[in-house]
């Protein structure tokens, strides 16, 4: 062992006394500023225990003198956000649907907020871009089951369709096959007739007169004599190019056999009136609004 206080000539520092193959290790303690910073962080941690929630107790925990909780912080942030929105929301609350749509500022406000609300509430069924899916209407097009005016859209959003709400849209596509109203071959015939209404091809040998007769007796009550539909009962227009469930023969046969009863939930009570207003304008402005 060499003396611990040996001084290395080159660096002017002391060595640790360790030596390997003639190479000595310099004594390089942690810098004083580093050590002091380290102690300061320990003190800081103790301060943390005093100020913030820290230690678990038998029932509960030490809350710290600030009584800070994440939940309260989030609630406070949300309240602040609502306060910021407050004025603008008040303006929207006071304006009529048509007013909002005619004022570029209000419209862009409603569209911005509407996009978020739509993504949170409507997108699961209608898709993020409101393009819909099989059984879920595309809200961008001009084909509306229950009407596409501002008032009609507002009505649909508030009370829904077949939602159980007393004011909901009601209307039913009967299960003509399952309930034995029409025979399978009659269903195929009328399905071909329905396809012909919108100019789609029909099977060779299909009896058009028979199809027209079955349609007039069973379907015209809701869909109208010409198959143009009826928004009062949510009966779709069968002469257009838009098909909620599909336009191939098999799908139409299935629709006639088992019926259809898509549900749109009622949003009144879940969304506040201003938000429903915003959503009405948003959906109306997607492109298909009447």
Q: Tell me how far, at minimum, the Cβ of 217 lies from other proteins, in Å.
A: 26
Specify the stretch interacting with other proteins by CB under 8 A; choose among 34-42, 97-105, 187-195, 272-280: 97-105
Secondary structure (DSSP) of 231-266: TTTTBPPSSSS--SS--SHHHHHHHHHH-B---B--
Tokens of 48: 């943390």
Specify the stretch interacting with other proteins by CB under 8 A; choose among 188-196, 239-247, 249-257, 266-274: 239-247
63: left (phi over 0), alpha (psi -120 to 50) or beta: alpha
CB 194 within 8 A of CB 243: no
- Please, which residue, 238 or 274, has the CB nearer to other proteins? 238
Q: Tell me the C-alpha distance between 79 and 84, whole Å.
A: 9
CB 15 within 8 A of CB 2: yes
Q: Is 240 a residue that touches other proteins (CB under 8 A)?
A: yes
Q: Is 11 a residue that touches other proteins (CB under 8 A)?
A: yes
List the one residue from 121, 140, 230, 231 that touches other proteins (CB under 8 A).
140
Here's the x/- map for other proteins, 270-289, by CB under 8 A: it reads as ---------------xxxx-
List the one residue from 17, 53, 127, 171 that touches other proteins (CB under 8 A).
127
Q: Residue 149 burial (CB < 10 Å; 0-12/13-18/19+)?
A: middle
CB 158 within 8 A of CB 267: yes
Q: Tell me the C-alpha distance between 280 and 282, whole Å.
A: 5
List the one residue from 1, 3, 5, 9 that touches other proteins (CB under 8 A).
9
List the one residue from 64, 129, 224, 262 that touches other proteins (CB under 8 A).
129
List the one residue from 91, 131, 181, 200 that touches other proteins (CB under 8 A).
131
State the DSSP code for 103. Answer: S
Residues that bind other proteins (CB under 8 A): 9-12, 101-102, 104, 107-108, 111, 127-131, 138, 140-143, 237, 240-242, 285-288
């Amino acid at each position: 062992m060499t003396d611990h206080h040996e001084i290395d000539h080159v660096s002017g520092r002391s060595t640790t006394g360790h030596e390997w193959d003639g190479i000595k290790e310099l004594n390089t303690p942690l810098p004083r500023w580093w050590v002091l910073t380290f102690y300061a962080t320990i003190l800081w941690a103790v301060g943390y225990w005093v100020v913030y929630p820290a230690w678990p107790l038998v029932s509960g925990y030490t809350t710290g003198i600030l009584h800070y909780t994440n939940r309260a912080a989030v609630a406070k942030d949300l309240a602040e956000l609502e306060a910021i929105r407050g004025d603008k929301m008040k303006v929207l609350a006071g304006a009529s649907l048509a007013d909002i749509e005619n004022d570029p500022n209000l419209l862009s406000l409603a569209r911005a907020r509407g996009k978020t609300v739509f993504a949170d509430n409507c997108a699961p069924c209608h898709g993020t871009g409101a393009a819909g899916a099989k059984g879920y209407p595309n809200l961008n097009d001009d084909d509306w089951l229950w009407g596409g005016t501002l008032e009609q859209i507002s009505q649909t959003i508030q009370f829904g369709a077949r939602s159980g709400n007393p004011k909901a849209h009601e209307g039913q596509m009967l299960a003509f096959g399952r309930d034995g109203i029409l025979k399978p071959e009659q269903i195929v015939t009328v399905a071909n007739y329905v396809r012909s209404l919108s100019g789609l091809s029909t099977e060779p040998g299909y009896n058009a007169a028979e199809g027209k007769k079955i349609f007039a007796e069973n379907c015209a009550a809701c869909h109208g004599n010409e198959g143009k539909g009826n928004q009062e009962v949510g009966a779709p227009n069968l002469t257009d190019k838009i098909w909620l469930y599909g336009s191939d023969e098999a799908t139409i046969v299935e629709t006639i056999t088992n019926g259809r009863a898509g549900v749109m939930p009622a949003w009144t009570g879940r969304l506040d009136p201003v938000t429903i207003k915003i959503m009405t304008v948003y959906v109306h402005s997607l492109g298909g609004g009447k």
